[in-house]
Amino acid sequence: MNSITKSNKRDFLQIGLGLIVGAVLFIFLYVKSHNTDPQLHGKIVAEISEIKHADAEFQKALILNRYGLVSSYDQLVESNQNFLKKSEIFEQLLHSSMQSVQLSRNMAAFRQLLSEQKEFLEDFKSHNAVLKNSLRYLPQSIDNFTKTLDSNKQRQVIEKLHDLVRKVLQVNLIFDGKLLSEIDNQVADLQIDSMSLKDDQREQLALILRHAKLIEKYKVNVDVLVEKTLSIPTETALNEVFNTYLELYQTRENNAHNYRTATVVVAALLVLVVLYYMVKITRLSSALQQTVYQLKFQKFALDQHAIVSITDSEGNITYANQRFCDVSKFSYSELIGQNHRIVNHADMPKTVFSDLWSTITKGNVWRGDIKNKAKDGSEYWVASTIVPFLDENKKPFQYVSIRTDITKRKMMEAEVIQANRAKSDFLANMSHEIRTPMNAIIGLSHLALKTNLNEKQSDYLEKILSSASALLTILNDILDFSKIEAGKLTMEHTQFSLQDLINQVFALNCLKADEKGLEVMFHQAADVPNILVGDQVRLGQILSNLLSNAIKFTEHGEVVVSIGLESETANQMVLKFVVKDSGIGLTSDQQAKLFESFSQADTSTTRKYGGTGLGLAISKKLVEAMHGSIGVKSSLGLGSEFSFTARFGKAGSKDFLNLPYNKLFGKRALIADDAESARNILSDMLSGFGMQVKAVSSGEIALAELATTGKRDLYDFAIIDWQMPGMSGLKTILQIKQADFPQVKPHCLLVTGYGREEVYEEVSSGELDDVIIVTKPVVPNDLLNHLLALMGDNGTAIASPRNIARDVDDIQRLLGMRVLLVEDNAINRQVATEILESHGIEVAIAENGQTALEILAREEIDLVLLDIEMPVLNGFETIKKIRANTKWLHLPVIAMTAHAQESMREKCLVAGMNDHIAKPFDHDILFSVLARWAPQKAQYWPKRKLRKSIDSDDDCPALKGLDTCAGLKSVRGNKNLYRSLLIQFTKSYSDLSETLQRALKDNDKSLAKRYLHTVRSVAGAIGATGLAEKAWSYEQCIGERNGETCESEKLSFDNELQDVLNSISGIAEDDVSTLTQSEHDSSNIEYHTLINDLERLLKTADLEVSERISALRPFLTTNLQKTSFRSLQKAIETFDFDEALQHLYSITSDTQHSGGSKNE
């Protein structure tokens, strides 16, 4: 097709060139053929006649004058002038017609003759005048003269004179030479005769003779002149000129004729060529017509099926077929010239069109589904294919759009989507419906576990709790899976810290590994950046799944998690995550089915290990959503290696770990670890910091290495594993410290896979207090910080991202915080309230957004937990109102929903909430979220001080085993909090003695030590300093010696604990109120007045009560009171004043027995 066009183009070019050359030739010949000017030629010929005519006129005038037929020269002069003028004109014409030497020469000759003729003419005129006068005067004068003579005497003279007259007149008529000589003789004779005459007569005669002589002379002259004038060959000369001209003209005319002939030939040739091409074109066009016909037929066929339109490069419609008109409901004329946007539907995202245009303007074909709008506003869907037509410059000059009406399909799709949505809504709803009771089950189980229970009850509850947790996991898995199946999985693209994520994943899983005694190791290649852009939660989910699987299926050995950089582009990278275990492994059959939905290695596995079998299927989907792939390598009994890749965006700034590296660059480190993988991981990590590393497999070799190094190769750091065969880590470090090395001793780091506390004990007992303990898995940030700290560079150390708050420290940070819980569900409210209060967090309660706003306006609130689905004012409306008030712009608000979907979380954040937690709460997550958003301590505590003014030693009640002053101080004087801490202590540790006994009996020293360690810190916090000391001694004792020898420590600890518990229960019975009594006293009168007023108003069914009722709120202390208050409000709202009165009474009665009702 293209080559045909090209050859055609070449053909046309040739034809065009040929025609142009032909035309130029034609024009040239045409001009040449018009070289003669027939008009001018005609003029010249006419002028010749004119000249000849003028010549004739002149000659006529000359003859007339000569013979005296006219008496004036005017005619003669004029005719001569006319003749000359005509000649001049003729010459000019000739000159303008052509130039030729011959012609000029002839013309010059002619001119010469003319001027000669003129001179003759002038002479003729002068002489003729004289002749005329003399001829006239001579007879007269002779007559007069003879009269004066004597006719006798002078007869002879008289006769001679008469004879003279006769002869002169005769000569005048006929020229005769003989006569002339006779006249001469006669004159001479008369002159002789005159001698005899008298003077005057002689003079007269002389004059007569003079005239005669003049006549004689001029007569000849005049005749000769006339003859000469007439005989001058002016006509011959003129003819010569004319003939020369004619010859030249003829030649030229012949040439022109030849050119004319050539012109005709060229013209004929041109016509032939044109005809030839016309025939050719006609043939071509008939072929074209056939093609056009074919195309038309194809177009007809196309039009029957498709909606077709053509637009120019600007998108203006130049063609639209009938179907287009039909479907768009525009008429053809309405469409033509309009931009194609006329049918665009506002619903279509702009990106579709920008993509469309960027595709087709580049000359590519675009395909896609578009929703269009018809003239009447109705919408229709089309599947479009837009094809750009390109010109020679590969630039599109028009676009052809072929579309199929897919409205029906789209409607069906919409229905399907609708059905799917209904399905997922159902799932979401179900999840909500399931979660709400689950929340109650889990929450209440937690709470119930904290009460006094016998062993059986405790066991049942724990099983309920674990079953519920398992159920929740399954629920989450199913939800996730259904979401993925529905294609509703959306990946976030936010910046996050890989390190933080790893920490979180490890924190959630390592406890189990600890329990199993597994070593979990982490290795991150040095070139993996810490800050990534992607979906943190989903990555965590995958890692968590793989890690928990690995831990789950590994009985002993190690689990290694490693991260490496697979590939990298300017703004993206692919990371490879590997989780390797030394577990049970998989058969190849199992591997094949592993990532399929609802399948585990086998059903027996399910029975043994639990789980839905969805985890890996979900992980696979998630990995795919991250543009990666997941796979497994495994051999049965030896372990498995799961690996996956995932694509991440790069963060704007480079890895923030890079900076402090400089300090460590070139430093030397010695690693001693028996596990090769651990050695490799540490080596790589340290090398990544730019350090020189040597790794050895035991403490002995390490010592030997240190002993043999020269001064130059000093080791700055020794990183020793705690548990090694042969020489243990501690022993090695001790040896290093005690050894007598020639050089400065290296800083020592002890790496441990076990709980920190146990190691601490050993370290402190071994006087190795300057040894840094690093827990496995070792994360680069932690290690870096430790190394930098040892280098004396604490200030620039990188703050390690905090683990999820599950430490006592974290929770203690939240002590005394005031949280507003906004929740409509009573059970949820109770669960949340008690969880929070049990951790020393003050809780204000609101049933809906409206109440929440009122409370916020009235009270100082540090944080809000906001339910979303509530009556009166829901969570979204509430947050809108909260954020509308500038005072609460930065108030942390955390949404609580039973919707676990990501979309809900996003919706909450968009609405202005700071975070989101899903119900039922995971305790850890709840406190982690609270810790994250809790206001800074520095601003936090003084505020409390202002609110609660009691802070003097006088207010510390003396209690056995408790330094209440110290305890109150630790909670910054918050007595309520202190009280709840004390109660919580009772709940947690009332059976501690038995627990310890049990643990020691099982020979689980570490568990016992952990309990003691924990109780020590808690005891310190509540002011039970004695108990703390006793716990410390007991803990030390257990660590150092065998159980039996610690009897005295056990006894003193048990006694002290009992004292403390008794003291607390004493408070619970009668003294807690004393702690808060002063507060109540101050407002007692006010309170009673209010109650009386309310009672009166309710009895009289006065509506004012609804306004006064809120004034009661500050006086509510117990939960029962608060519950009753809400019922009271509800009753008032429904105008059931009798019931309201009952609720009021229940509030007042609870106030009266508040001490008793508390402790149940």
DSSP 959: B
Query: For 154, phi and psi rounded to 5 degrees?
Result: -110, 35
Alpha carbons 130 and 123: distance in angstroms, whole number: 11
In sequence order, the 6+-apart residues with CB closer than 8 A to the CB of 588 are none
Alpha carbons 677 and 684: distance in angstroms, whole number: 11
How far apart are CB 205 and other proteins at their closest, in Å? Answer: 13
Q: Nearer Cβ to other proteins, position 67 or 598?
A: 67
SS3 content of the chain, % helix, strand, coil (to 5): 65, 15, 25
Asked if residue 30 binds other proteins (CB under 8 A), the reply is no
How far apart are CB 170 and other proteins at their closest, in Å? Answer: 21
Asked if residue 45 binds other proteins (CB under 8 A), the reply is yes
Burial class (CB in 10 A: 0-12, 13-18, 19+), 737: middle
> Which is nearest to 929 in space by CA: 952, 955, 953, 905?
905
**Position among 26, 29, 50, 671 found at the interface with other proteins (CB under 8 A):** 50
Q: Nearer Cβ to other proteins, position 49 or 653?
A: 49
> Which is nearest to 660 in space by CA: 748, 802, 564, 781?
781
Alpha carbons 604 and 706: distance in angstroms, whole number: 53
SS3 18: helix
Asked if residue 933 binds other proteins (CB under 8 A), the reply is no
CB atoms within 10 A of CB 982: 26
Asked if residue 103 binds other proteins (CB under 8 A), the reply is no
**Position among 5, 12, 20, 38 found at the interface with other proteins (CB under 8 A):** 38
Peptide bond preceding 942 in cis form (omega within 30 of 0): no
SS3 575: strand
Residues in contact with other proteins, total (CB under 8 A)? Answer: 42
In sequence order, the 6+-apart residues with CB closer than 8 A to the CB of 60 are 79
SS3 372: strand
Alpha carbons 870 and 413: distance in angstroms, whole number: 34
Q: Nearer Cβ to other proteins, position 121 or 1015?
A: 121
Burial class (CB in 10 A: 0-12, 13-18, 19+), 864: buried
Asked if residue 111 binds other proteins (CB under 8 A), the reply is no
Residues within window 124-163 making contact with other proteins, judged by CB under 8 A:
125-126, 129-130, 132-133, 136-137, 141
Query: x/- contact string, 657-686, with other proteins (CB under 8 A)?
Result: ------------------------------
Instruction: Extract the tokens encoding 581.
Output: 């275990």
* Residue whose structure tokens are 């390190």: 499
Asked if residue 463 binds other proteins (CB under 8 A), the reply is no
Asked if residue 123 binds other proteins (CB under 8 A), the reply is yes
Residues within window 78-97 making contact with other proteins, judged by CB under 8 A:
78-79, 81
How far apart are CB 206 and other proteins at their closest, in Å? Answer: 10
Q: Nearer Cβ to other proteins, position 73 or 754?
A: 73
Asked if residue 754 binds other proteins (CB under 8 A), the reply is no
Q: Nearer Cβ to other proteins, position 122 or 568?
A: 122
> Which is nearest to 121 in space by CA: 213, 35, 228?
228
Query: x/- contact string, 199-218, with other proteins (CB under 8 A)?
Result: --------x--xx--x----
Asked if residue 36 binds other proteins (CB under 8 A), the reply is yes
Alpha carbons 121 and 676: distance in angstroms, whole number: 148
How far apart are CB 182 and other proteins at their closest, in Å? Answer: 23
Asked if residue 75 binds other proteins (CB under 8 A), the reply is yes
Asked if residue 767 binds other proteins (CB under 8 A), the reply is no
Alpha carbons 1015 and 1043: distance in angstroms, whole number: 19
Q: Nearer Cβ to other proteins, position 45 or 574?
A: 45
How far apart are CB 281 and other proteins at their closest, in Å? Answer: 33
Helices and strands in the chain: count of H runs, count of E runs: 42, 22
Query: For 93, phi and psi rounded to 5 degrees?
Result: -60, -45
How far apart are CB 49 and other proteins at their closest, in Å? Answer: 4
Q: Nearer Cβ to other proteins, position 74 or 676?
A: 74
Q: Nearer Cβ to other proteins, position 263 or 549?
A: 263
**Position among 163, 182, 189, 253 found at the interface with other proteins (CB under 8 A):** 253
Asked if residue 256 binds other proteins (CB under 8 A), the reply is yes
DSSP 197: S
**Position among 20, 46, 271, 411 found at the interface with other proteins (CB under 8 A):** 46
Query: For 1051, phi and psi rounded to 5 degrees?
Result: -65, -50
Alpha carbons 369 and 348: distance in angstroms, whole number: 10
Asked if residue 235 binds other proteins (CB under 8 A), the reply is no
Instruction: Annotate 603-622 with three-state secondary structure.
Output: HHHHHHHCCCCCHHHHHHHH
Residues within window 55-74 making contact with other proteins, judged by CB under 8 A:
57, 70-74
CA dihedral 810, 812, 817, 821 (to 10 degrees): 70
Q: Nearer Cβ to other proteins, position 134 or 828?
A: 134
How far apart are CB 136 and other proteins at their closest, in Å? Answer: 6
The residue ranges of DSSP E strands in 653-739, in sequence order, are 668-672, 692-696, 717-721
How far apart are CB 243 and other proteins at their closest, in Å? Answer: 14
* Stretch of 115-123, 147-155, 315-323, 784-792 contacting other proteins, by CB under 8 A: 115-123
Asked if residue 395 binds other proteins (CB under 8 A), the reply is no
Asked if residue 260 binds other proteins (CB under 8 A), the reply is yes
Strand pairing report for 639-650 and 531-534:
antiparallel
Binding site for other proteins (CB under 8 A): 33, 36, 38-39, 41-42, 45-46, 49-50, 53, 57, 70-75, 77-79, 81, 119, 122-123, 125-126, 129-130, 132-133, 136-137, 141, 207, 210-211, 214, 253, 256-257, 260
